[in-house]
Amino acid sequence: MSTRIETFRYDDDVVRKFLVATFVWGLVGMLVGLLIALQLVMPSLNVAPFLTFGRLRPLHTNAVVFAFAGNAFFCGAYYSSQRLLKTRMFSDLLSRLHFWGWQLIIVCAAITLPLGFTQAKEYAELEWPIDILIALVWVVFAVNFFGTIARRRERHLYVAIWFYIASIVTVAILHIFNNLAIPVGPFKSYSIYGGAQDAFMQWWYGHNAVAFFLTTPFLGLMYYFLPKAAERPVFSYRLSIIHFWTLVFLYIWAGPHHLHYTALPEWASTLGMVFSVMLWMPSWGGGINGLLTLRGAWHKVVDDPILKFFVVAVTAYMMATFEGPMLSVKSVNALAHYTDWVIAHVHTGALGWNGFMTFGMIYWLLPRLFQTELHSKKLAEVHFWFATFGMILYATAIYSAGLTQGLMWRAFDQTGRLQFPDFIETTMRLMPMYWFRAVGGTLYIVGMLLFGWNILMTWRKRPRDLGDPIAHAPALEGRYRPEPAHGGVFGLGWHRAWEGLPLTFTIWVVLAVVVASLFEVLPTFLIRSNIPTIAAVKPLTPLELAGRDLYIREGCFNCHSQMIRPLRWETERYGEYSKPGESVYDHPFLWGSRRIGPDLAREGGRYNELWHVRHMENPRAVNPRSIMPAYPGLLTQPLAFGSIQRSVDAMAMLGVPYGDAISHAESMARQQAHEVAARVVEQGGPAHLDDKEIVALVAYLQRLGTDIKAATTAASTGGADPADEGGAH
Amino acid sequence: MERITNLLGRAGLFDDTVIALVLFFLAFLVIVLRVYSPSRRRQMDAMAHLPLDDASDDAAKPGASR
């Protein structure tokens, strides 16, 4: 065995870069969050098309998830991996490519999302060229990371590294398979999956994006930085291993709990619920492991803002991971789904777990990265209290809003009718809580500004030459031999060998993720009875398809669902519940996950064309209490008839039976636009809308849910059977 | 694709998801046994100390010799 001591330097420059990016993008993402929170109480703040709620909400989520939390993960991972593996990163060039590539992605998102370029899939809104860029940058990160592991000087991979490995490989799998799409233009594509299958893929991705981008990477950070800050080892290393493997085994199955009572097969929904409930155990095991690491050191928490941040972070992790499984229980989900309760849940995790972990980590890193004292410990304390009170105020207000919404939606009066049949009534009741949310968010952002000031002033006190730290470690023996005492299958020395063989270890992680994914996802794709088709449901007309693209561009799906659950309070309010076969031609699906406005699945025919025109031009003109943004531009902007054929062709490629429209899409669209515009004039509306975007959107809205209605009418007069579910046998 | 769908639909392969459950549970059981094996206590303690073994943090702090 070699005892030669080698001297090397860590690359802290890239860590500093990620640190600064974390703060900058975090502040931007939170400010956008505050703006959209205020837009809900002051719709007049939707001042321009590119600043409307529907376009900014994905910008907020992408900025805080991928820019703030993403950069924080990279910052901590680059710092801790080098120390745990006792080597410099594999390649300085790849480190810089990773850093600048990721920032380029964020800038692209910040430009394209307000412009309305979106795939309409939550946390996967970015269009196909940016998706390719993400994949490339992720490969750069992976090569750099695994290259670093390959040339490490520490044989054993500490558990934090396991969490990083799981995050890197799983995010790659999720990103690639959820974003498979047919490009229609430079920044427009249609998901290759449709309807229930797309919903399944999206929430397989969406839930695991939370798991493997916001949870496992930060658990890796927790297992490194919490022991460092507490100056004691993790309470139970054994428990950390159980924590890791149980999360890897269970998390990947849990996604369908986002689709309870929707048109997803019930077996999938139940599967998601059961695995989500099982997640309670590893999550709390891990959280308790984190908190017990402070056993015997709690007195330090009183004086140390870093430990305070970590304690609240782990507590928030435990709260969020208690609440998540609870929300996945169907009866609870029936109340909470589509309401602000889910928004409160997400923010407990994001503000508490990800935010506080990041703050604690960066305060710990600042003196080490800038080789000077932290500018002000007192300011860090003040930051902690601002952030804590801000988070509590935010959560209290939005939990109240969510419960209020859910309970009002399902309330019946003594005569058995809906107690609040007018949706706007339930929205107005939330306004005081939305104001409190904005105050809570502002307090959190004030804390961020103090954080930024502390970073800036610490940076200013840095020595002139910030050289890379020097470290020493013995060179690693070339070939690994597991200890004889643990050899053999029953001695379980083979697992020890895995840990020394990162490639084998990684393959097993991938296998766990892929096998679970295949068992869950494939039946929905391959067994036809899971998605019964309905003979009466036909593809959208070319004009309606163009209208759907506008619906996506404006982000209407951020506030309006298109999925009526088979629950009495929903069918009473919106009409017949949604069937899987109704959305088979929807690429992407637009079921939505939140109702700031009412569900639109049966919107077609509810109002006349003129009502929709007036409503889009100025919602307050038809409903003085509406909080929806106005879209007057739709009445003046010309519709891009020239691109409709391309959209129809792409849909046809995906298997949507378009028939004649494959060669006549534009003329068909013009003909229907003329008819819609004529009806608007007949109803007393403005003339000359034939070639404007509004006619396409109105045509689409008037089509929603009408195939079933038309079939029902036909059946009652001796026509086709509306329940002709061709694939159900 | 149509044929594959029909074939797999009739094969009933996915009715046996219990196999996956058993496999995953067995794997989990093996890991628990391995982790809590008494002979590994010393090794586990050593691994838990890995983050604390690195002295470069102190070296990077102000006033430390570089």
- B 8-37 residues with CB below 8 A of A? 8-9, 14, 17, 20, 24, 27-28, 30-37
Distance between CA atoms of residues A392 and A389, nearest Å: 5
Residue of A166, A12, A143 lying closest to A79 (CA atoms): A12
Residue of B nearest to A458 (CA): B62
Environment class of residue A439 by beta-carbon count within 10 Å: exposed (0-12), middle (13-18) or buried (19+)?
middle
Name all domains of chain A by residue range, CATH numbers in brackets. Answer: 10-462+501-508 (1.20.210.10), 542-578+599-716 (1.10.760.10)
Q: Alpha helix locations (H) across A258-339?
A: 266-278, 280-292, 298-303, 305-328, 330-336
Residue of A652, A675, A679 lying closest to A664 (CA atoms): A652
* Residue A618 touches partner B, C-beta closer than 8 Å: no
Query: Which of B31, B39, B48 is facing A485, going by the closest CB pair?
Result: B39
- Is B59 within 8 Å of A224 when comparing Cβ atoms? no
- Type and span of the H or E element at A78: helix A70-85
Which pLDDT value is given to residue B3?
59
Residue of A nearest to B26 (CA): A249
The reported pTM is 0.91
Distance between CA atoms of residues A259 and A225, nearest Å: 36
A151-155, A523-527, A566-570, A674-678: which range is least confident on average? Answer: A523-527
Mean pLDDT, all residues of chain A: 91
In this prediction, residue A546 has a pLDDT band, given cuts at 50, 70 and 90, of very high
Which pLDDT value is given to residue A719?
44
Ramachandran quadrant class, A527 (left: phi over 0; alpha: psi -120 to 50; beta: rest)? beta
Distance between CA atoms of residues A177 and A181, nearest Å: 9
| Alpha carbon distances (Å) from A563 to A240, A263, A329, A635, A703 | 40, 8, 19, 28, 15
Sign, CA dihedral A89-A91-A92-A94, equals negative
Query: Which of B14, B27, B47 is facing A527, going by the closest CB pair?
Result: B14
- Is A233 within 8 Å of B35 when comparing Cβ atoms? no
Residues in chain B: 66
In this prediction, residue A479 has a pLDDT band, given cuts at 50, 70 and 90, of low
* Pair A455, A408: CB distance under 8 Å: no
- Is B57 within 8 Å of A242 when comparing Cβ atoms? no
Environment class of residue A373 by beta-carbon count within 10 Å: exposed (0-12), middle (13-18) or buried (19+)?
middle
Q: What is the pLDDT of residues A562-590, one digit of tens each?
A: 999 999 999 999 999 999 899 999 999 99
Residues in chain A: 729
Q: List, in order, residues 6 or more apart from A303 with CB less than 8 Å away.
A: none
Strands A188-191 and A470-474 come out as unpaired
Ramachandran quadrant class, A445 (left: phi over 0; alpha: psi -120 to 50; beta: rest)? alpha
User: Which letter does DSSP use for residue A21 in this model?
Assistant: H
- Is B57 within 8 Å of A234 when comparing Cβ atoms? no
User: Among all chains, which residue has been given the structure tokens 């290259």?
Assistant: A147
Which pLDDT value is given to residue A485?
46
The average pLDDT across B2-20 equals 61
Q: What is the pLDDT of residues A484-522, one digit of tens each?
A: 444 444 444 555 555 556 777 788 788 878 877 777 777
- Is B52 within 8 Å of A367 when comparing Cβ atoms? no
* Pair A207, A257: CB distance under 8 Å: yes
3-class DSSP assignment, residue B9? helix
Q: Give yes or no for residue B4 having a pLDDT over 60.
A: no
The average pLDDT across A450-475 equals 92
Residue of B9, B25, B10, B23 lying closest to A522 (CA atoms): B9
- The nearest CA of chain B is from the CA of A100 a distance in Å of 25
- Type and span of the H or E element at A184: strand A181-185
- Is B51 within 8 Å of A228 when comparing Cβ atoms? yes
Query: Which of B9, B31, B62 is facing A526, going by the closest CB pair?
Result: B9
Q: What is the pLDDT of residues A49-60, one digit of tens each?
A: 999 999 999 999
- Is A233 within 8 Å of B45 when comparing Cβ atoms? yes
Which pLDDT value is given to residue B65?
39
Q: What percentage of chain A exceeds 90 in pLDDT?
A: 78
> Which chain B residues are closer than 8 Å to A522 by Cβ?
14
Query: Which of A228, A516, A528 is facing B5, going by the closest CB pair?
Result: A528
* Pair A163, A129: CB distance under 8 Å: no
Strands A470-474 and A5-9 come out as antiparallel
Q: What percentage of chain B exceeds 90 in pLDDT?
A: 6
Q: What is the pLDDT of residues A238-296, one digit of tens each?
A: 999 999 988 988 888 888 899 999 888 888 888 889 999 999 999 999 999 999 999 98
Q: What is the pLDDT of residues A338-348, one digit of tens each?
A: 999 999 999 99
In A115-228, beta strands by DSSP E: 181-185, 188-191
User: Among all chains, which residue has been given the structure tokens 């990041």?
Assistant: A358
Q: Give yes or no for residue B62 having a pLDDT over 50.
A: yes
CA A232 and chain centroid, separation:
34
Query: Which of B14, B45, B66 is facing A522, going by the closest CB pair?
Result: B14
User: Among all chains, which residue has been given the structure tokens 């870093």?
Assistant: A306
Distance between CA atoms of residues A399 and A406, nearest Å: 11
The average pLDDT across A607-611 equals 96
Q: What is the pLDDT of residues A617-663, one digit of tens each?
A: 999 999 999 999 999 999 999 999 999 999 999 999 999 998 877 88
